[in-house]
Chain A
Amino acid sequence: MEFAELIRTGQAQAELLRGPEEPPLRGTLCITGHHLLLSPGPQATPDLWLLLLRNVDSIEKRVAGDSGTITLRCKDLRVLQLDIEGVEATLDIARSIEALSSLESVITSFPFFYRPKGLRLGDAWHFHPPECYYKRVARETNAWRLSEANEDFSLCPSYPRAVIVPRAVDDSALARSARFRQGGRFPVLSYYHAPSGTVLLRAGQPLTGPQKRRCSEDEDLLRAVLAGARPGARGFIVDTRSPQAAKQARMTGGGTEAKAAYPGWKRLHRLLETGRPLQESFVRLVEACGDLEQSMDRWLNRLESCRWLSHVKETLSTACLAAQSMEQEGACVLVHGAEGTDSTLLITSLAQLILDPLSRTMAGFQELIEREWVQAGHPFQLRCAHSAFSHARPKHEAPTFLLFLDCVWQLGRQFPLSLEFGEGMLLALFDHAYASPFGTFLCNNEKERCLCEVRTRTHSLWSGLSQPKEQRKLRNPLYVPNPLAIWPSAEPQSLRLWQGLFLRGTRPPEPSEVAWEKVWQIVTDQEKTEGSQPTDSASEAGP
Chain B
Amino acid sequence: LMMFLSNRSKEAVLEALASTVNRDPTAYKYQFQDDPYLAPRTSAEFKLFSLSQESGRSAAKYFINSNPKFFTKDFAEPHIPCLMPEKVSLLLEEVSEEALKERISLRKVKAAVDMYDQLLQAGTGVSMETTHDLLDLICLYSDREPVQEGGPETEDVSAEEANRSKGRIRRASDFLKTIWRENNNAERIFNLLPERDTHCYSALIRGMIRHGAYVKAFDMYTDMLNNRMTADVRIFNALISGAPEVREKYNERWDLIAELLNQMNQQKVQPNLLTFNSVLKALRRCGSLARTQALHTLSEMKALGIAPSLASFDHTLAAFYKAGKHSDITLHTDLLQEVMSELAGSSFTCQDPDDGKLWSVCLDNKDIELAYRVQSLVEAGENWRLLGDSHQQTIYYGRFFSLLCMMEHIDVVLKWYRKLIPSLYYPNVQGMRDLLQALDTDSRLDLLPTIWKDIQLLGHANKSELIEELLALMARETHSPEVQESFAVCALDVKSVFNGDRGTLSLEWSTSALCHITSLLLRAKRTQEAWEMLQLFKAKNRVPSEELMNEFLLECHAAGAPDRAVELVQLSAAFCLPATPRLAQQTLKDFDLTDEQR
The yes or no verdict on A and B being binding partners is: no
A residues near B (Cβ < 8 Å) are none
B residues near A (Cβ < 8 Å) are none
